[in-house]
Structures are given as C-alpha cells and as structure tokens.
Amino acid sequence: IETIPKETDMVLKVSQIEIEIEIEVNPPKGSGQILLRNLYLSCDPYMRGRMRNFHASYIPPFVPGQPLTGYGVSQVVNSDSPDFKPGDYVTGITGWEQYSLVRPTQQQHLRKIRPDDDIPLSFHLGLLGMPGFTAYAGFFEVCIPKKGEYVFISAASGAVGQLVGQLAKLHGCYVVGSAGTTQKVDLLKNKLGFNEAFNYKHEPNLDATLKRYFPQGIDIYFDNVGGDMLDAALGNMRVFGRVAACGMVSLHSLSDPQKLHNLYNLIPKRIKIQGFLQSDYLESFPRFLEHVTSYYRQGKIVYIEDMNEGLEIAPSALVGLFSGKNVGKQVIRVAHQ
C-alpha cells in the first residue's frame, strides 16, 4: 500500500501481489503450544463488535494486521502440550487461517471432541457449541419458562433462535418466531415446528402484528435483534413477562440506536428484562451437551446449517449475517476432515 499525493489530498494506492511462501510452523519445545489445521470456522454476530474499540464491550477488539479469531473446529497436527496429541479433534478459539499455532489457555476455550457418525463435526459451532448453549442457558436460566406460556423469538431461524424455539416447544410452550424472508418463515413453520412465524419485513406495524399473533400477550420474549422489535414486544408483554436480552443485531452498525417508547410497561406489568452472556452459565455446559445431543439423536430437534466453502468466502459470509443472507447457522468449511 502506498500513498500518492494528489492535489491537496493523499490517495491510497493498493496493489495486490500473490506470494507463496513455505515455512515450517511447529510448536517450539517447552512452549505448550499446539499446531491446528482448521476445518470449520464460525461466523458470529458478536465479531462485528470486535471491529471497533467500544469501551463497554465484554471482549477486546481485533488487532489490525492479525488474522481474525473466532470459534472453530480443528485437528491437532503437532503438539507440545501433554493434553493434546496429533489427530485429536478440538473446538475452541482459533484463527481465520488454514493453520493456527495456539496455546490452549482458558481464553482459547479449547476442548476435545469426538467425531461421531451421526453428528457432523461442524455442529460443535452451532447446535452443540456457543450458539446452542446461548439458546439453552438463555431460555432455561434467564426466561425460567413454564409449560403453556406464550413465547416470541426474533431472528428465529438463526443459530440461536432455531434452538430456542424447539426447546420451548419441547417444554410445552406456544411459540411464534419472526424472520426476514419467506423461506425462513417456511422453515420455522414446516421444519422447526414453531406454531406460527411471520416475515417482519412485510409487517408495517409490528405492534399490530404482535397483537395479531399474541391476542393474550407474550410471557417470554427472547430478543436477538433489539430496536423496533424489542419496543413492540415490550408493548405486548403480559404481567410478570420476561425478556431475555440475548443480542441486538439490528443495532450493530447504527451509530445512533433508536429509542424505546414502551419502557414504561416494565412497571405496571412487572416485566423482568435481563441481558445475559452465555459465558455466565458455563457450569451448565455439560448438562446442555447431554440434553441437546440426546434430543437430536432421538429426532426431537433438527438443526439448520448454512455451510459455505473456502476461507476466501468467510468475510462476505460474516457480513451477510447483518443482512440476513444466512439461512441457519453460518459456518465456513476451510478444509475437509
């Protein structure tokens, strides 16, 4: 990259050169590091938040010039750690690159996984990974659901939402989801077993829409989007309703987030609204794995993945989360097993 003076402005000239370099990357003796061959990478909305230096964030920003990091599924190629051996499959934080040299610290969240014939390895980034656990912990620990309650979920066909809805159905709740395309609405109703679903982009008045789907009001709102949908849901909650503030994907790129007009409902309706991070509930992770794996094996739940091929596609797949391009959990296959 070079800067060229042009009249009063400097112009950036970017040239792209392809170079192939062969280097040996092995964990140095005594480093405790392991060399991973990355197989699958996960695209997650929280990664957008790491692209700005936001003081209130719970996770540090990405470092310019370094590969992005995120959840992945990888195979150990070489190891200087007594806990991992070549051939092991692991999931945890890795780099957006073909091979990563990592030290398995707590921040890396690395854990071994077993390849199963009936469960794709990539499911450890969705159904059996961080998004699945977010659904499980958010629904059971934050929403404290009761059988027969009325549950509304936004971004309902996504990595988190699709599992929240299915868990709520298994719990005996009445479940409605919103999504941004006709295809996603169809999946919610006909594949994921939601009672009802609607395309929020076709609904000019969200308050009226929610009144139509919940004439008796909403007991639980699992909020993945924030903004106007959160406002409309607040206006339609029942007395003692609960709102799990899981994510606000509609606000990620707005510098001036919209205001909420229906907050006053919190008091007369005694609504509880709680923001949460899945990492607050990690002691429940083994129970989650056992329950959800068993539901999946019994055919009680299904999981939709959007698998894209090749590392080069990863940036556009990540950006696509914010326009709803993904249908289900967005995963990138970097290499075959």
Size of interface with ligand NDP, in residues (CB under 6 A): 30
Nearest approach, Cβ of 323 to ligand NDP (angstroms)? 6
Among 95, 158, 235, 241, binds ligand NDP (CB under 6 A): 158
Among 145, 278, 304, 332, binds ligand NDP (CB under 6 A): 278
Interface with ligand NDP, residue 44, by CB under 6 A: yes
Q: Which residues does residue 242 pair with via DSSP β-bridges, in sequence order?
A: 220, 272
Closer CB to ligand NDP, 100 or 326, in the complex: 326
Distance from chain centroid for Cα 311? 19
Interface with ligand NDP, residue 132, by CB under 6 A: no
- Give the residue from 99, 80, 111, 110 showing the smallest Cα distance to 36: 99
DSSP 324-335: T--SSEEEEE-S
Nearest approach, Cβ of 15 to ligand NDP (angstroms)? 34
Among 92, 95, 129, 180, binds ligand NDP (CB under 6 A): 180
Closer CB to ligand NDP, 76 or 143, in the complex: 143
CB of 193 within 8 A of CB of 174? Answer: no
Distances in Å between the Cα of 216 and the Cα atoms of 141, 152, 196, 213, 236 are: 24, 12, 15, 9, 9
Among 189, 293, 324, 335, binds ligand NDP (CB under 6 A): 324
Among 161, 165, 235, 241, binds ligand NDP (CB under 6 A): 161
Closer CB to ligand NDP, 169 or 184, in the complex: 184
DSSP 67: P
Please count the other Cβ atoms lying within 10 Å of the Cβ belonging to residue 315: 13
| Alpha-carbon span 154 to 180, nearest angstrom | 10
Interface with ligand NDP, residue 76, by CB under 6 A: no
Instruction: Mark residue 323 as left, alpha or beta (left: phi above 0; alpha: psi -120 to 50; beta: remaining).
Output: alpha
Interface with ligand NDP, residue 231, by CB under 6 A: no
| Alpha-carbon span 217 to 57, nearest angstrom | 33
Among 119, 277, 302, 307, binds ligand NDP (CB under 6 A): 277
**Encoding tokens for residue 16?**
């792209």
**Selected range binding ligand NDP among 85-93, 186-194, 257-265, 275-283, rule: CB under 6 A:** 275-283
**Residues of the shown chain interacting with ligand NDP in the complex, contacts defined by CB under 6 A:** 44-46, 131, 134, 155, 157-161, 179-181, 184, 224-225, 246-250, 276-278, 321-322, 324, 326, 329
